[in-house]
Amino acid sequence: MKQILIFSGTTEGRRLAELLCANGLECTVCVATQYGELVMEKRAGLTVHQGRMTPEEMRSFLSSGDFLAVVDATHPFATAVSENIRSSMAESPIPLLRLQRDTEYLPSGEKNIFRFPTHENCAEALKEIPGNILLTTGSKDLAAYSEKKELLPRLYARVLPSLESLSLCYENGIEGKHILAMQGPFSVEMNEAMLRQYDIRCMVTKESGGNGGFPEKIQAARSTGTKVLVIGNPENEQGDSFEAVCAKLEDLTGKKLRQDNRMQIALIGVGMGNPAMLTKEAERKIQGAELLFGARRLLAKIPGPAEKVPCYLAEEILPYLKEKAVKKAAVLFSGDTGFYSGAQKLYATLQKEIGKGAISAQVELLPGISSVSCLAAKLGISWHDAEIVSIHGRSANVADAVRTNPKTFLLVSGLVDMKALGALFHGMENIRITAGYQLSYPEEEILRLNPADCAALEKDGLYVCLIENPQAGKQRLTHGFPDSDFLRDRVPMTKEEVREVSVCKLRLTRDAVLYDIGSGTGSVAVECAALSDRVQVYAIEKKKEAVLLTEQNRAKFGLTNLTVVEGEAPSAFEGLPAPTHAFLGGTGGNMKEILAALYRKNPQLRVVVNAVTLETLGEITGLLKTLPVEQEEIVQIQVGRAETAGRYHLMRAENPVFIISFTFEGNGEKDE
């Protein structure tokens, strides 16, 4: 297949190469510098040649390839390069197209804007203008200004972050903080910030058009009162617009060039926050972004020209994306995008907006290095065989995870969570805690702690923990704590066998919300909350003594997903999230009112009721005749326990209990 040869170095050249490759055409792009090669996005069908060439070398390069056409997409000020291209193709039958940038933007009649034909004319004029000077004309023309020794102390050069550009700065006597090495494009806000930061009184720029960031420079200078000295476009020969070049290439190739105008949005995991931990792909996406979103902590560490917006929630980001006409945007997330990250929620929201036609975009996820994998590497251990728990903005049963696993990695929100571990692991002196503090930052520390040490920590910042328990028991596959595990005092408790059958009848689901009404000691609430930290349990109890006892049992088992609510049902339901399940251990004579309130909360609720007396059984069976229910079931359970009497075992009967279970059959509308 014949290729298209592009001499690039501009946004238009990169854009043309991307368009050709996207339409299945092959092209070779020639760039002068290593940096020019770096910013070219790797694509199927694209070959990049790096290095400057003489006309003779260009002729040799042309003869070595099978080219259908040549496009000169070099910078409008690179007139010598354009002349070399024309010279090298003087006798070639291959058509040459000049992709010319429209630079006609310069406003007329503004007193602070001055135009010059050459750099030498401009440098001479600067001798009469006081104050600091910002050169935004690149590194190749520095000599015209630096050779005027009286200007040198006032010169600040904004150049590309390449070794060649930096070398030219030093060769021309521009050093240290007077070198601003960064890649454009630059927003108006970025230009304004630089003009103010370095107290610039005069900015020198080329008439490089919209794609060269010329309008943003003029607007920033206008708002800061900075004088602008403009070097006029030196091109004499007329070229073609981007659209005209595309039309000519369509005629030559016989293929329609369909442009993908969708916004490119990258959701990027940046690791712990140090830019050194970025992947090369993430670094390239960040450098190419025009809009960059993320937490202030992450944005502060990331260099680059993009407009930085300190937010990461979908409701904050979407208005920006809809308002700003940008082609590339990136959102930064700490750690890895697939590991307890807000990236997943934003990705789903963006896909939904794209599906509705609210925005036209293509979204991709770029993984990062998580704090867990980083800490594991620092310690020289694996993490695939560990339990991973997060209490960073969420609740989890940390104590149970540590109790049942030899290795647990714990993500925390900060110092407050670290201090809380002291109380959570009180009495578990056999466990070992290793904390990674400020991983990847200069102040990084690996801390070896016991529970008492956690409570004494003082340094705020980012923590991640490895908690090792050499005596970890086998993880339970079923519920079933013995009655002796609970603190009881004189408060009634649902006995072990009745409790286990009742929990089975609840048929709890993932992310269930359970009301344990009349919780007593909280034994049912504890059993259910211990099944999964994704189950949220509300233990509702009106008696003060029972409330305190439930709270003590919650703390004993380390259950952060169990909330004790003091109050009488059903009024105590107010303000609680709608339940998916309810267990009624005691109703205080309010059975009818409680069931009616539960139905209003969720007309598809699963309910289990324990009845000890025949009167309670009669009341509930009567109510079931008036309520819309399905899957109705009544079970009587009679338990006998063996007691020793000398050399013999005698059976002692417990009180019989009726377990009534059913599901409301409603319209599916929940009261949130």
Q: Is the dihedral of CA 108, 112, 117, 119 positive or negative?
A: negative
* Same-domain pairing of 206 and 139: yes
Q: Rounded to an integer, what distance in angstroms lies between the CA atom of residue 50 and that of residue 39?
A: 12
528 with 650, same domain: the answer is: yes
Q: Render the burial of 510-531: b for 16+ CB within 10 Å, e for the rest.
A: eebbbbbbbbbbbbbbbbbbbb
Domain count of the fold of the chain: 5
pLDDT, position 668 = 47
Closest by CA position to 309, among listed 325, 291, 324 = 291
In a domain, 106, yes or no: no
> Is 538 a domain residue?
yes
Report how far residue 418's alpha carbon sits from residue 599's, in angstroms, rounded to the nearest whole number: 41
The position carrying tokens 């205080």 is: 588
| pLDDT at residue 106 in the model | 57
Task: Name the residue with tokens 């189950």.
Answer: 535
In-domain check, residue 283: yes
- Rounded distance between C-alpha atoms, residue 171 and residue 154, angstroms: 17
Q: Where are the alpha helices (DSSP H) in 278-407?
A: 280-288, 296-299, 314-323, 343-356, 371-379, 398-404
Q: Does one domain contain both 281 and 350?
A: yes
Rounded distance between C-alpha atoms, residue 459 and residue 564, angstroms: 32
446 and 411, same domain (yes or no):
yes
| Contact yes or no for 41/284 (Cβ under 8 A) | yes
Cα angle, residue 65 at apex, residues 64 and 71 outer, rounded to 5°: 120
In this prediction the pTM is: 0.50
- Find the CATH number of the domain harbouring 647: 3.40.50.150
**Which residues on adjacent β-strands are paired with residue 465?**
410, 435
Domain end, chosen from 468, 500, 518, is at: 468
Tokens matching residue 338: 């697939």
* Residues 315, 198 share a domain: no
Phi/psi for 564 (5° steps) reads -95, 125
- 623 in the same domain as 531: yes
Task: Write down the residue that tokens 């309130």 correspond to.
Answer: 597
Q: How far apart are the C-alpha atoms of 328 and 284, rounded to whole Å?
A: 12
In a domain, residue 455? The reply is yes
Looking at the structure, do residues 16 and 78 belong to the same domain, yes or no? yes
The domain spanning residue 269 has which CATH number? 3.40.1010.10
SS3 465: strand
Helices (H), 558-666: 591-601, 614-624
- Domain extent for 392: 371-468
The DSSP-derived string for 90-145 is: TT--S-EEEB----TT--SS-TTEEEESSHHHHHHHHTTS-SEEEE-S-STTTHHH
Asked whether residue 201 is assigned to any structural domain, the reply reads: yes
Q: Do 496 and 598 sit in the same domain of this protein? A: yes
- pLDDT for residue 109: 62
Which pLDDT value is given to residue 410? 95
The reply to whether 337 and 377 lie within a common domain is no
244-251: long-range contacts, CB 8 A cutoff, minimum separation 24: 245/16, 245/71, 245/97, 245/99, 246/16, 246/19, 248/69, 248/95, 248/97, 249/4, 249/20, 249/69, 249/71, 249/97
Put the strands of the sheet holding 581-584 in their side by side order.
562-566, 536-541, 513-517, 581-584, 606-611, 657-664, 629-637
281 CB-near residues (< 8 Å, 6+ apart): 366
Residue 523 counted as domain residue = yes
Last residue of a domain, one of 427, 444, 468: 468
Cα distances (Å, whole numbers) of residue 316 to 309, 366, 554, 589: 10, 21, 38, 49
> What's CA 313's distance to the chain center, in Å?
9
- The verdict on residue 107 lying in a domain is no
Do 343 and 401 fall within a single domain? no
**Is residue 345 a part of any domain in this protein?**
yes
Q: Residue 670's pLDDT is what?
A: 47
Give mean pLDDT in consecutive 10-residue pieces for the chain, a chain of 672 residues.
87 88 92 79 89 91 91 86 91 90 62 89 93 93 93 94 91 93 81 93 85 80 92 81 91 86 90 85 87 90 80 87 84 92 92 86 94 95 93 83 90 92 78 93 92 90 93 71 86 88 94 94 93 91 94 86 94 95 91 94 95 92 91 92 89 91 75 50
From 366, 398, 416, the end of a domain falls on: 366
CATH number at residue 226: 3.40.50.620
What beta strand segments (E) does 334-444 contain?
361-366, 387-390, 407-411, 432-437
Residues 496 and 399 in one domain: no
Query: φ, ψ for residue 150 (rounded to 5)?
Result: -70, -20
Specify the pLDDT at position 358: 83
For 374-508, strand residue ranges (E) read 387-390, 407-411, 432-437, 445-449, 463-468
- Same-domain pairing of 454 and 532: no
